[in-house]
């Protein structure tokens, strides 16, 4: 079976600056991968490149075994949860309206949703747990509820690849735990391939099987989670904090925490 995603020595430049340099990544069906790195290291840029919003100056991107990528066809197979909802909460939109936006990339802008599209929307809301909120205006939601709506919008596309960019960054501790538990459950139930960007390493989902560490635009470590998260590797990125971060991370995972 062809990999879900292949990046081969991609380099991305913006405004004359190299923001991703010769990064190679392969994701297989069912992988649950954590992508970490310091602020400004290139994590979000990498996600935007996978989505086709940025194009490499060099290197190869293949999605679902297709190269070159037909972005119009393949982007709708990628569920993307950005750091912040790109919708003004003051707009008169309900939860169902926002989740249904995930189908627009599938059916095409300006086209009516068919019965199967509405069924995908309802299933996504049910799976995420926001079906009882379907008619509520998004401006009346809590931070945790709003993040669930974002996840439901991505799931309504019935994606083969799910990308999450720091999905817990604006949530309190209780909502963080609930959100990450939800992501782990959906990964398993929907047989997803998942790539999650996290800044708070103590909050990494316990279900992550693989990890990538990016530093100063380059991929410096990759592999099985337990092989990547070592004191030496973390110290490479986080300097003197590496030992403390590793200790807290191992304690949280061993205790069944986040």
Residue 248 banded pLDDT, cuts 50, 70, 90:
low
Say what the pLDDT of residue 257 is: 45
For the beta sheet containing 17-27, the strands, ordered from the edge strand earlier in sequence to the opposite edge, are 17-27, 5-14, 58-63
pTM for the model stands at 0.89
- The mean pLDDT value of the chain amounts to 88
**Total structural domains within the chain:** 1
CATH code for the domain in which residue 194 is found: 3.40.50.300
Taking alpha carbons only, the member of 8, 2, 87 closest to residue 49 is: 8
Residue 33 banded pLDDT, cuts 50, 70, 90:
very high
Q: Give 174-215 pLDDT, tens digit per residue.
A: 888 899 999 999 999 999 999 999 877 777 887 899 999 998
- Structural domain for 193, as ranges: 5-254
Say what the pLDDT of residue 258 is: 45
200 in helix, strand or coil? Answer: coil
Q: Find the mean pLDDT for residues 89-106.
A: 87
């Amino acid at each position: 079976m062809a990999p879900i995603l292949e990046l081969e020595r991609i380099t991305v430049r913006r405004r004359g600056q190299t923001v991703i340099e010769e990064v190679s990544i392969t994701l297989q069906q069912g992988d649950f991968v954590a992508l970490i790195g310091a602020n400004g290291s290139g994590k979000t840029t990498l996600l935007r490149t996978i989505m086709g919003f940025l194009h490499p100056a060099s290197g190869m991107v293949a999605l679902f075994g297709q190269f070159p990528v037909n972005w119009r066809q393949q982007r709708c197979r990628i569920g993307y949860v950005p750091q912040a909802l790109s919708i003004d909460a003051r707009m008169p939109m309900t939860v169902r309206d926002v989740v249904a936006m995930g189908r627009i990339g599938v059916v095409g802008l300006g086209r009516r949703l068919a019965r199967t599209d509405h069924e995908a929307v309802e299933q996504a809301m049910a799976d995420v747990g926001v079906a009882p909120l379907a008619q509520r205006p998004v401006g009346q939601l809590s931070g945790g509820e709003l993040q669930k709506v974002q996840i439901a919008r991505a799931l309504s596309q019935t994606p083969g690849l799910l990308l999450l960019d720091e999905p817990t960054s604006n949530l309190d501790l209780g909502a963080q735990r609930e959100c990450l538990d939800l992501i782990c459950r959906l990964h398993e139930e929907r047989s997803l391939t998942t790539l999650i960007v996290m800044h708070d390493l103590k909050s990494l989902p316990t279900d992550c099987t693989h990890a990538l560490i990016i530093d100063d635009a380059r991929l410096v470590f990759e592999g099985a989670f337990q092989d990547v998260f070592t004191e030496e590797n973390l110290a490479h990125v986080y300097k003197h904090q590496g030992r403390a971060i590793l200790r807290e991370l191992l304690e949280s995972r061993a205790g069944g925490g986040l």
